[in-house]
Chain A
């Protein structure tokens, strides 16, 4: 079992750069076996981040602030009401990065299920999706970096965040799918802290999927 650290949940939102620093510090300690596998759980202040595979035309060209990061994936938004999980964990050898992503999706699907929400994987689209009458909507996003065989970055689970910040990305027309939150789907207010408790319960060690 990894160690879980709630480093900043409502009302102590973490700005994105501080979050990156926390990750780097934790990563260095995990990679050198000074500390065990660790999962940082937090909420960010509102920010757009662009992963390495973001293409020029997908950036919000409306002048919105965005930060380029060294995770995989494309552009997204983070902010209050969204549970961020940064698992800093040794990947079993031989490494299977896709297996790791699928494992994270599985955990988030289990967490959603505890609230009565049926999360699904959609082939070709990393993350957790919910099939609604209005089409597949994204409940959780995933973006990962692996350095020295230890993971960084992780997942963002929409709990009770506002969905309007995504509008600027809508305006760019980068996608045909929409986002949703646990609160919207269930009609009850579900905070990141509540979801964090379930993540702590559901997340064990990374299985060695290729063995």
Chain B
């Protein structure tokens, strides 16, 4: 049995994310045959098998990020049964030798940081050659930490980056006792900080000051309306927020399973939004006070569920309305959301499409927030904010009914509501119904494809 480890793919590469296994457990692989695909920063690389044999175990699953030297999988020797399992057989392939890193930490998956810079208005640039324009963010590459790649076996060897880090931190390397193989000094030995914290200083990218700094700009008409409505909402209602955590692993699995088919049939990508919208809309039927409006001393319970959803545009926040959302299929909902979001951004919505909402959904997680305390849009009485869906360690029951820790796709749902007519128990009941619906993951009948 031989371990296939993540080879050093370059001087500054310390980890990689498994994107795809090209072989299944039980498959026979030849030396140098592509085995698994690993993604690092801007590059996807096939890792050829250093051994011939049978793939016996996959240790690093798809989407998992592992350090250079950590074990990807195990290949059993089918040809020479007598051979003892050498800990580090020389790879036959001409790939870089796997670096012997002991128990390299697995870096948790985190969303790429997205900086929310203010919208830059079109302003005459001081230099004609390079005008400032409100254009294009090119995609930001996920910041890949650039700590040392340990290579070679000389315990006295110190990688340039460890040396650099030591200099930056003012640490005398001769005073450090290395925790790496053979006592080599790893960058973790220089700091108690987790890998990501260290690398964030190492790869700090410059933050450019906005040209708006130091200027005074009149509010746009939309900005004035938003401003007045936000203050009116806070002054005229008694709002507060309740948050639940929802395990959406089943929906995540379903999306993965049917994504290709869905896209083909529905013509749009399947995101979490239609599921959240449907579950939120359905639960309104049994919780009419969440879908109500205060009129003087009356409570108006609306007869249909018209979901406003928040769309961030360059002009500001707009909320087009999906009418009768509870009766729509997932496919239809996805199409309507995509179409309305597009027309909201291109300013092609009709007034009718912007009015008549009875409840609002806001995807506050689209830029990575775990949860918000959204502001209720009057005359509505509640707004549901969906946080970012992230993989977290969660306590679940295993097959034997015992508690176990598993990797689950989790999301926070935050409901802001008007306490004048909605009590905390009402809000909780509503949230629990939404949660139950989502966690059951039974949306096959609602797909509409």
Contact = CB atoms under 8 A, between A and B. Distances in A.
B23 interface: no
Contact of A148 (B34, B120, B205): B34
Interface string B107-121: 000011011110010
Contacts of B94: 93-94, 149
Nearest to A63: B338
Contacts of B423: none
A28 interface: no
A207 interface: no
Interface in B73-127: 94-97, 111-112, 114-117, 120, 125-127
Contacts of A175: 114-115, 136-140
Contacts of A93: 94-95
Given A95-B45, A134-B120, A177 B137 contact: yes
B138 A146 contact: no
B141 A179 contact: no
A124 B141 CA distance: 7
Interface stretch (B10-18, B152-160, B163-171, B276-284): B10-18
B195 interface: no
Interface stretch (B36-44, B240-248, B292-300, B391-399): B36-44
B9 A98 contact: yes
Nearest to B32: A148
Interface string A167-211: 111111111111110001111000000000000000000000110
Interface string A122-144: 11111100101111111001111
A71 B337 CA distance: 29
A32 interface: no
Given A61-B338, A136-B206, A173-B312, A146 B136 contact: no
Nearest to B270: A56
Interface in B12-63: 12-13, 17, 19, 34, 39-46, 48
A137 B10 contact: no
Contacts of A73: 42, 139, 141
Contacts of A101: 41-43
Contacts of A54: 139
A153 B325 CA distance: 42
A159 B107 CA distance: 38
A159 to B, nearest CB: 15
B46 A72 contact: no
Interface residues of A, number: 75
A210 B13 CA distance: 13
B190 interface: no
A146 B135 contact: no
B269 interface: yes
Nearest to B120: A134
Nearest to B41: A126
Contact of B312 (A149, A167, A171): A171
Contact of B208 (A74, A136, A144, A167): A136
A4 interface: no
A141 B138 contact: yes
B373 interface: no
B203 interface: yes
A145 to B, nearest CB: 5
A115 to B, nearest CB: 11
Interface string A83-124: 000000000011111111100000000000000000000111
B141 A97 contact: no
Contact of A209 (B11, B140, B338): B11
A133 B126 CA distance: 7
A41 to B, nearest CB: 20
**Chain B CB within 10 Å — which of A130, A138, A186 has the most?**
A138
A58 interface: yes
Interface stretch (B178-186, B339-347, B428-436): B339-347
23 contacts: A52-B19, A55-B111, A56-B272, A56-B389, A58-B114, A62-B345, A63-B338, A94-B7, A94-B96, A98-B9, A98-B13, A122-B205, A122-B206, A123-B205, A124-B205, A147-B46, A148-B48, A149-B94, A169-B137, A173-B114, A177-B137, A179-B138, A184-B131
Given A59-B271, A94-B97, A170-B135, 16 more contacts: A52-B44, A53-B17, A57-B111, A72-B39, A73-B139, A94-B7, A94-B94, A96-B11, A97-B45, A122-B205, A123-B203, A125-B205, A132-B125, A133-B132, A170-B137, A179-B136
Pairs of residues from A and B, 9 with the lowest C-beta to C-beta distance, nearest first = A175-B137, A166-B136, A135-B208, A134-B132, A74-B139, A98-B10, A176-B117, A62-B342, A94-B96
